[in-house]
Amino acid sequence: MNGKIKCLGCSLANKMESVHVIYENDLVCCILDHDPFNEGHVLILPKQHAEDLDDLNEETANMVIQTARFISKALKSLYKPDGITICQNGGIFSELTHFHMHVVPRYNHQSFADFYLEMPLNNEKSKKKLLETREELAGAINKIIEGSR
């Protein structure tokens, strides 16, 4: 790596690590979170390195939001959540030191405070279904994108 620190976010966004891609284009890569809050928990990562929202160029920032719209529609159609939470943690609160946006289906009985706890989530069922979730979500997103053209 020529003495440079390896960026995990860049590795994930550019598929240098094993990931479950649900959608990608030239600017972003959308993957399932390996430790999902709920089934369908997605990370949107820019392929070009940026640490924080204000580091994104305008084209990439717009693509992140456009992609979040498609993912939200797909999540609603597949999983019928009570809502969608979209969040981004920057600075010292970013585990990846690479901009990433979470798109998380949510249900009425859940406290989102659990998302930020250091305790393990009760998500073994969702973890075991990552391949199936990837197929379902990728298909739903492709239909939404094709329908919007």
Domain of 106, CATH number, reads: 3.30.428.10
Neighbours of 92 (CB within 10 A): 6
Mean of pLDDT values over 116-132: 80
Instruction: Supply the range of the domain harboring residue 92.
Output: 8-143
At residue 5, the pLDDT reads 53
Model-level pTM? Answer: 0.89
2 — pLDDT class (breaks 50, 70, 90): very low
**Residue holding tokens 């979170």?**
33
> How far is residue 95's CA from residue 145's CA, in Å, rounded to a whole number?
30
Strand order in the sheet with 83-88: 21-24, 28-32, 42-46, 101-106, 83-88
pLDDT tens-digit series, residues 38-74: 999 999 999 999 999 999 999 999 999 999 999 999 9
Number of domains in the chain: 1
Mean pLDDT of the chain: 90
Among 38, 6, 33, smallest CA distance to 19 is for: 33
Residue 25 lies in a domain: yes
HSE-CB at 30 with a 13 A cutoff on CA atoms is 28
Residue 149 lies in a domain: no
What amino acid occupies position 93?
A: F
pLDDT tens-digit series, residues 67-113: 999 999 999 999 999 999 999 988 888 888 899 999 999 999 887 77
What number of residues does the chain have? 149
Residue 148 lies in a domain: no
At residue 109, the pLDDT reads 86
> How far is residue 54's CA from residue 42's CA, in Å, rounded to a whole number?
21
99 in Cβ contact with 90 (< 8 Å): yes
Residue 1 lies in a domain: no
